[in-house]
Amino acid sequence: MSPAIEFDEAASRAVEAAYLTTDVVAQRCTIMKALEVRPGERVLDIGSGPGLLAHDLAATVGAEGRLCGIDMSEAMVAMARARCAGQTQATFEVADACALPFDDGAFDVAVSTQVYEYVADIPTAFTELRRVLRPGGRLAILDADYGSLVIHTEDPARLARIVAAWDEHFVHAGLPRTLAPSLREAGFDVRQRDVIPMFNPEYHPNTFSYHLTMMMAMFAIGRCGVTQDDADAWLAELAALGRAGKYFYSLNRYLFIADKPDG
């Protein structure tokens, strides 16, 4: 099964807007701190998207290091290349997480955020991930669990249809629940697990959920009986709830840090 969402130019710009908010800037800081990337290291970003984390990683490894990003989407690769144009240590190419175009042991560190929930064949993807990491290499994986999604509404039936439609945009709705055993089966030692909540009790453009709810509404149109009017009415409701001090959005993302055993 492949995800229904296509990360074309418009979807890529929408993801970028959501990922420039303070909530996701804070998430990137948490990941950078957990990975402890050092100057000179070789880092792979799988599903590098608009290149925001890749840019931070490339700045940290510096000119002596290497940052490679791969992504299935040409639009995303173009955005990442533009963002990192001044960083000669950063390169990006179109590739699949299940067929990484790199030699065995080519990287000290690998990172993949909000990507594996779109990848149907997790065992193959993790076998590839293990292959390209050197012994002793480390990785960070972050994914959302959509079972943790809580949105306040005064029209639960409409929201249920929109959420059901949104559920069609990924392959795995609850990937974090099985990530640790999947990583262990692929030969990794899981060292750290953390929850990163996207909790927005305000409706504001500088929040993750402001952009995500817009993406949900647009994606839902034509699915599960959701019409353009439903989508518009839901977004109007969210704005009204925000003005009334009644807005509430919460979604958990989970971070896993693991090591490839040395030897």
Ligand X SMILES: C[S@@+](CC[C@H](N)C(=O)[O-])C[C@H]1O[C@@H](n2cnc3c(N)ncnc32)[C@H](O)[C@@H]1O
Residues 6+ apart with CB under 8 A from 26: none
| Structure token digits, residue 65 | 């290091």
Q: Which amino acid is at 118?
A: Y
Instruction: Give the torsion through C-alpha atoms of 260, 80, 83, 53, to 10 deg.
Output: -30
- Three-class SS state of 134: strand
168 sits near ligand X (criterion: CB under 6 A): no
Binding test (CB under 6 A) with ligand X, winner from 115, 129, 144, 162: 115
Q: Using CB under 6 A, which residues numbered 202 to 231 contact ligand X?
A: none
Q: Which amino acid is at 24?
A: V
118 sits near ligand X (criterion: CB under 6 A): yes
43 sits near ligand X (criterion: CB under 6 A): no
Binding test (CB under 6 A) with ligand X, winner from 21, 87, 113, 207: 113
Task: Identify which of residues 114 and 200 has a Cβ nearer to ligand X in the complex.
Answer: 114
| Span of 56-64, 112-120, 185-193, 246-254 interacting with ligand X by CB under 6 A | 112-120
Instruction: Give the torsion through C-alpha atoms of 116, 44, 51, 209, to 10 deg.
Output: 30
Site string for ligand X, 7-36 (x = CB under 6 A): x-------x---x-----------------
Task: Identify which of residues 210 and 247 has a Cβ nearer to ligand X in the complex.
Answer: 210
72 sits near ligand X (criterion: CB under 6 A): yes
76 sits near ligand X (criterion: CB under 6 A): yes
Task: Identify which of residues 44 and 162 has a Cβ nearer to ligand X in the complex.
Answer: 44
Taken as a whole, the chain contains a residue count of 263
How much of the chain is in helix, strand and coil states, percent to nearest 5?
Answer: 45, 25, 30
Residues 6+ apart with CB under 8 A from 176: 143, 144, 145, 252, 253, 254, 256
Distance of closest approach, residue 80 Cβ to ligand X, in angstroms = 9
- List of residues contacting ligand X (CB under 6 A): 7, 15, 19, 47-50, 52-53, 70-73, 76, 96-97, 113-115, 118-119
